[in-house]
Amino acid sequence: MKNSHEGKIYSTNLAFAPPEYLRLGTVIPESVPFSFGTLLLDLMSGRHIPPNHALDLFRGKNYLVLMDSALDGQFSDEGRTELIHIALCLKSDT
């Protein structure tokens, strides 16, 4: 990603790019945390889950769907919930 207004370059995979970058080509302060939150969700789940879908699953308390089945109980309920909460707090509001 490149912020053409400030000339700063941020390295990312487009799979983790925030919606405003894909739509407008601009980087805002929330872009990097959004990318980190998306990456964290992917690491937890073992697959790419769009952040808005992950948020819907979280709101519906479908926590196990967000976790990689290979982790099968190797985490506490509280730890799992907190990790998901951190990842979703990092998402952009756009």
Distances (CA, A) of 21 to 7, 17, 53, 79: 15, 6, 19, 31
The residue ranking higher by pLDDT, 46 or 5, is 46
Domains and CATH numbers, the chain: 2-89 (1.10.510.10)
Q: What is the pLDDT of residues 54-87, one digit of tens each?
A: 888 888 888 888 888 888 778 888 888 888 888 8
| Tokens, residue 36 | 């980190």
Is the pTM higher than 0.85? The answer reads no
Distance CA 4, CA 57 (A): 35
Q: Are 40 and 23 in contact (CB under 8 A)?
A: no
